[in-house]
Structure 1
Amino acid sequence: MQATMMQVPLSLNHLLERAGTLFRDNTLVSRRPDKSLVTHTYGQWYRRTRALASALQRLGLKKGDRVATLCWNHHAHLECYFGIPAAGGVMHTLNLRLSPDEIGFIASDAADRFLIVDDVLLPLYRQFADAHRFERVIVFPFSGAPVPEGFDDYEALLAAADPDGFVYAPHAEDDPVAMCYTSGTTGRSKGVVYSHRSTVLHTLVASLADYWGLKGTDVVLPVTPMFHANSWGIPYGCVMMGVKMVFPGPHLHPDDLLDLMQLEPPTLALGVPTIWLTLIQTYERALTEQPGRWKLPAGMRSLVGGAAVPESLIRAFARHGIWILQGWGMTETSPVCTISYPTASLKDASEDERFRRAAMAGVPVPLVELRLRTDDGTDAPHDGQTMGEIQVRGPFITGSYHGAGSPPDKFTADGWLRTGDVATMDVLGFVRITDRTKDLIKSGGEWISSVDLENALMAHPAVAEAAVIAVPDEKWGERPLACVVFKPGQSADARALGEHLLAHGFAKWQLPDRIEVIDAIPRTSTGKFYKLELRRRYAATPSARQP
């Protein structure tokens, strides 16, 4: 017997046509560099996207050619998300927060042929222009100023194109549509290439009710950059559902985001913990210093990821009626792998238990297989205690890197991705990230989780942020050192912080031996704590136990 279902390939082009047909009057809002707002309907966006695809083909784009983007979050970047693959190309988002040398290396490694760049980012482009020569550089006049000579004008190309006569490039569902590079904090960045099939499947899974929970009536504010793992895939889901998107452009300061929320109140907002931490601190300070200036959108949902989300941050937003969902994933996983949502098993759980679970990485989403592999090569039991490296596989998880294959330090012999994250899993399937393999602290033969220490320190009322690293110790091998940033006008000494950690269940031997007070914690281009820099700064100095 054979199945009778049609063999219709999964394709982003279907999502584009769906949006242009069903959601023509729905809107997209973009914030310009001068903070003014511009609105496009999905009907306008659809025609502009097809015009972009037609223009790229007229410029000579061939199937599989890479088209890089160096752009903030706005409607034209969303046009690239669908127009480039529609023409047969592969969209390659360049991370504008990397150094010019790194951007140049990545563009060269990907063999990018064309570049689409915001005019306000041309100074950055010029810093790496000699490292990789693009055949065409197309400038989007984001600021409204004329495009400089020597560059192609994005708007002029679209105006001269024929969206009605455009014909989609022939493709299969396994053809590439986009690529992103890993953060590269421990070595050179590596390229991950997504397909039509993987992107559509990821979109369908992530849009489920317990995850993004997208509805056609939603208003989505993607603070997560569109160059960071494709803004976690949310642009594809919004187009699929015709959801209104409000793009913040380059304005990511807490004041700017809070101002934008007053103009266009979101029902769902996405961002990394750093953004949300500074936003809630700014908001709560304004409640006393500038009462009435801002109001957080009632009932807004928020998905936060990219780094561990401390329970204190979740509780802070909950006080204002906003529940934070924490997600975990990587560039290699498209990225959604787990989300911590209120499962049926928590229906009768206490408030404290619900918060404790919300601060975990969550439960694996459908189609993702996840295991914890211990040092002895066995799978860790689901006891909530035994740690192991997270290994995953599934239809939207990469099986290799562009040009680098499947090195054994990143992939197992039986085909699982080695994430480098260490975690536990309990009987309810909740994953709790304890550390990166390189960040675990082994003291006297016992493991100490830097993430647990960081989250507990950030629960102290005087602490804004905290990062914990290992420093060498002659007796114990390694000891924890805490780098602490205090809130404005507040402080605490080492003894007070130690007592705070003891009250949170840590044993004396687990407490940091040193507390370094710093102005700011260095971060990677994606907002994660840059512990490599902290280790360079402090780890060469042996620990000295503080009283």
Structure 2
Amino acid sequence: MIQTKLIPRTTEAFEPPMLIKNLLAESLKYEPHREIVYRDLFRMNYVEFNRRVRRLANVLTGLGVKPGDTVAVFDWDSHRYLECFFGVTSIGAILHTVNVRLSPAQILYTMNHAQDKVVLMHEDFLPILNAVKDQLTTVETFVLISDKVYTDLNAIGQVPAGFSGEYEALLRDVSDHYDFPDFNENTWATTFYTTGTTGNPKGVYFSHRQLFMHTMGLLTYLIGYEALPFKSRTDVYMPITPMFHVHAWGFPFLATLMAAKQVYPGKYEPAMLCKLIVTEGVTLSHCVPTILNMIVNSPLAQQYQDNFSRWSVLIGGSALTKGLARAALNLGINVTAGYGMSETAPILSVVYLNDTERALPLDEQVEFRTRAGRIAPFVEARLVDEDGQFLPHDGETLGEIVVRTPWTTQGYYNDPERGAELWRGGWLHTGDVASITPDHWIMVADRTKDVIKTGGEWVSSLDMEDALSQVEGVAESAVIGLPDDRWGERPHALIVQKPGYNLTTEGIKAGLQSRIDRGELHKWYMPDRILFVPEIPKTSVGKIDKKRIRSEMKEQILS
């Protein structure tokens, strides 16, 4: 790093730290009467929201939470979760957003590893607690969360042993005055756990500064460049990505900063999601392809088609296939893709159509809308080979994506070896194989562990899934590589059919072969085996679980 001359500083000059509390404070300046809505059960404006955040701070400090302590949350996507995003972090404590879809053993590991002190738990997850409670090593008390409070507090019944009380009742009994302190912007703010192919879940962590800067990155790209239409004056935001998954991709921080109307759907149910989109006027959401596929193929989709025309959806977590994109666009949904990972908070790229690309017919835009996106502001992204050497951004050369941003995690909590592997060479290694075009498009080919190496060729499982998605009647597909004595590996596919179709292996292979004959697909893109299944195995955050698919298909072949 070069030597520079620092600006002189007056002794009493104040340099405001970048803190999450400052994002919250902005919500009261311009549109404090906009609403935050939870299902069809609860609504409040930003004035009341700020009061409730301060009440939560008083509840937590009353329970003994001090700066540096960890508070865990088990809840569906709700206004309460949003309150925790601000109330826990703004007192200097650490918010642990627990992945409720992990196994009880994995949840136990993450809670002990994060050293949770206080746990806020929705009653729906009490069976998980009952399975692990006796093995928790640091938890001192629990707070019960229940939706029943909105009709009758007394309907909750007996608060379980070990609980200090119920969330709403505790908030009701404390003051709504709390002066959030200033502290170092590099203070640890949040943690959550991401699973890999081996070992225990890894603890990812972020500071106030990192989350503040990630919010500024989203603000620049979404509002400044209009990569997604999101204007606080008219837009209504509803996440359909779990809030335990990378802070719902950081959008709740942005929506609160902008005092945009926010809608939280609780547990994901197609009927409720469609109802909220219509009744609350939702205009912006984000989700994994599985959720969008569920909505697009819902019997309610055609009924609500007129309302979908104002709805923009950002897809991440897994690749957006052309088949799903076209199905959504045919319903009027403005669908585009983005790219990132848990360790990058997560935004690295979002589809941005320039003037020339926006002028293309919608069907031609699909090629761009399904890419991983253009590199986001303040993100450095490069390609490297296996020796760590940089590769050209020519749109053809494949390499691993490595990145540096103001908001990437600095490692894994209490796991220096895996943290050093993540950051080898001073760049964060994503594990994704891609090309980058001269005009900054990222085109992800595959995860390094999912690329199929067959006959000396690299075959992208994502490209194969994209090809299968365009076969009429295919609702969803997954492709994995399995060992082959002759070719090294060969692709195998799982397919879920749309209702009312009766697809055959021969018919699908004939469709692929016609595209191969026309030169649209390489010959290696013909799967050796196609299995029709009722559903495709997913991970805890809705991604295709290729590790499980590989294991199960190997067993089938061997048996």
Q: Paired residue for 1:519?
A: 534
Match of 1:227 among 236, 244, 256: 244
Query: Is 1:422 matched up with 2:439?
Result: no
Q: Report if the CA contact (8 A) 1:23-1:43 is conserved.
A: no
Q: Paired residue for 1:248?
A: 265
Q: Report if the CA contact (8 A) 1:115-1:138 is conserved.
A: yes
What is the DSSP-based 3-state SS (H/G/I as helix, E as strand, rest coil) of the residue aligned with 1:466?
Answer: strand
Q: Paired residue for 1:259?
A: 275
TM-score by length of 2: 0.90
Q: Paired residue for 2:152?
A: none
Q: Report if the CA contact (8 A) 1:214-1:238 is conserved.
A: no
1:4-403 equivalence runs, <5 A: 7-31=15-39, 36-133=40-137, 134-144=139-149, 145-146=155-156, 148-150=159-161, 151-152=163-164, 153-164=166-177, 166-208=178-220, 209=223, 210-216=226-232, 217-250=234-267, 252-283=268-299, 287=302, 292=303, 295-344=306-355, 346-349=357-360, 351-403=362-414
What is the DSSP-based 3-state SS (H/G/I as helix, E as strand, rest coil) of the residue aligned with 1:410?
Answer: helix
Q: Paired residue for 2:497?
A: 486
- In the alignment, the residues of structure 2 paired with residue 408 and residue 129 of structure 1 have an alpha-carbon distance, to the nearest angstrom, of 30
What is the DSSP-based 3-state SS (H/G/I as helix, E as strand, rest coil) of the residue aligned with 1:116?
Answer: strand
- In the alignment, the residues of structure 2 paired with residue 510 and residue 224 of structure 1 have an alpha-carbon distance, to the nearest angstrom, of 32
- In the alignment, the residues of structure 1 paired with residue 525 and residue 202 of structure 2 have an alpha-carbon distance, to the nearest angstrom, of 35
Query: Is 1:508 matched up with 2:523?
Result: yes
User: Using a 3 Å threshold, how does the CA distance of structure 1 residues 85 and 409 change in structure 2: closer, same or farther?
Assistant: closer
What is the DSSP-based 3-state SS (H/G/I as helix, E as strand, rest coil) of the residue aligned with 1:317?
Answer: helix
- In the alignment, the residues of structure 1 paired with residue 216 and residue 108 of structure 2 have an alpha-carbon distance, to the nearest angstrom, of 34
Q: Report if the CA contact (8 A) 1:471-1:541 is conserved.
A: no
- In the alignment, the residues of structure 2 paired with residue 194 and residue 397 of structure 1 have an alpha-carbon distance, to the nearest angstrom, of 8
- In the alignment, the residues of structure 2 paired with residue 207 and residue 453 of structure 1 have an alpha-carbon distance, to the nearest angstrom, of 34
Q: Report if the CA contact (8 A) 1:327-1:362 is conserved.
A: yes
Q: Paired residue for 1:532?
A: 547
Residue type of the alignment partner of 1:136: T
Residue type of the alignment partner of 1:453: M
- In the alignment, the residues of structure 2 paired with residue 326 and residue 38 of structure 1 have an alpha-carbon distance, to the nearest angstrom, of 31
Q: How far did residue 61 of structure 1 move?
A: 1.1
Q: How far did residue 350 of structure 1 move?
A: 5.4
Q: Write out per-residue CA displacement over residues 4-57 of structure 1, whole angstroms, 9 at most, x where no aligned residue.
A: 8962211111122222444331111102xxxx3311111111011001112211
Q: How far did residue 482 of structure 1 move?
A: 0.6
Match of 1:468 among 479, 486, 499: 479
Residue type of the alignment partner of 2:239: P
Residue type of the alignment partner of 2:280: E
Which structure 1 segments of 5+ residues have no match?
none
Q: Write out per-residue CA displacement over residues 193-241 of structure 1, whole angstroms, 9 at most, x where no aligned residue.
A: 1111111111111123234543222111111111111100111001100
Worse overlay, 260-269 or 272-281: 260-269
Q: Report if the CA contact (8 A) 1:214-1:241 is conserved.
A: no
- In the alignment, the residues of structure 2 paired with residue 40 and residue 450 of structure 1 have an alpha-carbon distance, to the nearest angstrom, of 46
Q: Report if the CA contact (8 A) 1:183-1:526 is conserved.
A: no
What is the DSSP-based 3-state SS (H/G/I as helix, E as strand, rest coil) of the residue aligned with 1:382?
Answer: coil
Q: Report if the CA contact (8 A) 1:369-1:392 is conserved.
A: yes
- In the alignment, the residues of structure 2 paired with residue 527 and residue 410 of structure 1 have an alpha-carbon distance, to the nearest angstrom, of 26
- In the alignment, the residues of structure 2 paired with residue 47 and residue 462 of structure 1 have an alpha-carbon distance, to the nearest angstrom, of 51
Q: How far did residue 363 of structure 1 move?
A: 1.1
User: Using a 3 Å threshold, how does the CA distance of structure 1 residues 38 and 441 change in structure 2: closer, same or farther?
Assistant: same
Q: How far did residue 516 of structure 1 move?
A: 1.2
Residue type of the alignment partner of 1:157: L
- In the alignment, the residues of structure 1 paired with residue 279 and residue 376 of structure 2 have an alpha-carbon distance, to the nearest angstrom, of 34
Q: How far did residue 352 of structure 1 move?
A: 4.5
Q: Report if the CA contact (8 A) 1:471-1:542 is conserved.
A: no
Q: How far did residue 356 of structure 1 move?
A: 0.5
User: Using a 3 Å threshold, how does the CA distance of structure 1 residues 149 and 347 change in structure 2: closer, same or farther?
Assistant: closer
- In the alignment, the residues of structure 2 paired with residue 467 and residue 410 of structure 1 have an alpha-carbon distance, to the nearest angstrom, of 29
Q: Report if the CA contact (8 A) 1:180-1:230 is conserved.
A: no
User: Using a 3 Å threshold, how does the CA distance of structure 1 residues 127 and 167 change in structure 2: closer, same or farther?
Assistant: same
Q: Report if the CA contact (8 A) 2:215-2:253 is conserved.
A: yes
Q: Report if the CA contact (8 A) 1:207-1:213 is conserved.
A: no
Q: Report if the CA contact (8 A) 1:410-1:419 is conserved.
A: no
* Identical positions, percent: 36
TM-score by length of 1: 0.92
- In the alignment, the residues of structure 1 paired with residue 314 and residue 36 of structure 2 have an alpha-carbon distance, to the nearest angstrom, of 20
Residue type of the alignment partner of 2:290: T
Q: Paired residue for 2:465?
A: 454
Alignment length (residue pairs): 533
Q: Report if the CA contact (8 A) 1:105-1:131 is conserved.
A: no
Q: Write out per-residue CA displacement over residues 439-485 of structure 1, whole angstroms, 9 at most, x where no aligned residue.
A: 11101111111010011101111111110111111111110001111
- In the alignment, the residues of structure 2 paired with residue 295 and residue 138 of structure 1 have an alpha-carbon distance, to the nearest angstrom, of 42
Residue type of the alignment partner of 2:547: L
Q: Report if the CA contact (8 A) 2:17-2:182 is conserved.
A: no
Q: Report if the CA contact (8 A) 1:371-1:390 is conserved.
A: yes
What is the DSSP-based 3-state SS (H/G/I as helix, E as strand, rest coil) of the residue aligned with 2:38?
Answer: strand
Q: Write out per-residue CA displacement over residues 271-304 of structure 1, whole angstroms, 9 at most, x where no aligned residue.
A: 1110101211115x764xxxx4664333211111
Query: CA RMSD of the aligned region, Å?
Result: 2.2
